[in-house]
């Protein structure tokens, strides 16, 4: 669970830089890093270092997309848009583009904000 906590803390550290003034999403590589919360980044990194020192791989460590998709597909989260967005990205990485497109559309249909819907309708690629 520490890996999941680290992921959540590191994700939160970027909150201020994830959307443009018009409300559209900003991809990680395009975010203004000066707006990232350095204290939260340090906290997330410290959690990860503690995990690495234990040298015991946990549930939330990175896996290949096929293994991750198998785990995700076991979940019963059909009404949760991040579930479908995650499936879509993993399917895209595996070259299963038709299935990925359907998963992106399902995620977009469930997304709570216009920015998220627009992002997902573009197949997880931000518009410029």
What single string gives the DSSP state of each residue in 82-127?
Answer: HHHHHHHHHHHHTT-HHHHHHHHHHHHHH-SSHHHHHHHHTTS---
Per-domain residue ranges of the chain: 1-61, 63-128
Q: Using alpha carbons, select from 21, 25, 14, 16 the residue that is nearest to residue 128.
A: 25
Encoded tokens for 15: 């909150």
Report field, pTM of the whole predicted structure over 0.85: no
Measured CA to CA, the distance from residue 84 to residue 15 in angstroms comes to 21
pLDDT, tens digit (0-9, with 9 covering 90-100), for 23-60 = 898 988 899 999 999 999 999 999 888 887 887 666 65
Encoded tokens for 66: 């096929």
pLDDT, tens digit (0-9, with 9 covering 90-100), for 50-104 = 887 887 666 655 558 888 888 889 888 999 999 999 999 989 989 999 999 999 9
Q: Are 36 and 6 in contact (CB under 8 A)?
A: no
Measured CA to CA, the distance from residue 2 to residue 48 in angstroms comes to 8
Measured CA to CA, the distance from residue 87 to residue 76 in angstroms comes to 12
């Amino acid at each position: 669970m520490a890996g999941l906590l680290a992921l959540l803390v590191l994700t939160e550290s970027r909150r201020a830089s994830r959307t443009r003034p018009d409300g559209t999403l900003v991809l990680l590589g395009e975010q203004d890093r000066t707006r990232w919360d350095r204290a939260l980044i340090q906290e997330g990194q410290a959690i990860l270092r503690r995990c690495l020192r234990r040298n015991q791989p946990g549930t939330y460590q990175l896996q290949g997309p096929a293994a991750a998709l198998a785990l995700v597909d076991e979940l019963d989260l059909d009404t949760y848009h991040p579930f479908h967005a995650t499936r879509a990205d993993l399917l895209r990485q595996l070259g299963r583009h038709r299935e990925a497109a359907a998963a992106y559309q399902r995620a977009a249909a469930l997304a709570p904000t216009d920015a998220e819907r627009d992002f997902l309708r573009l197949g997880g690629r931000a518009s410029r």
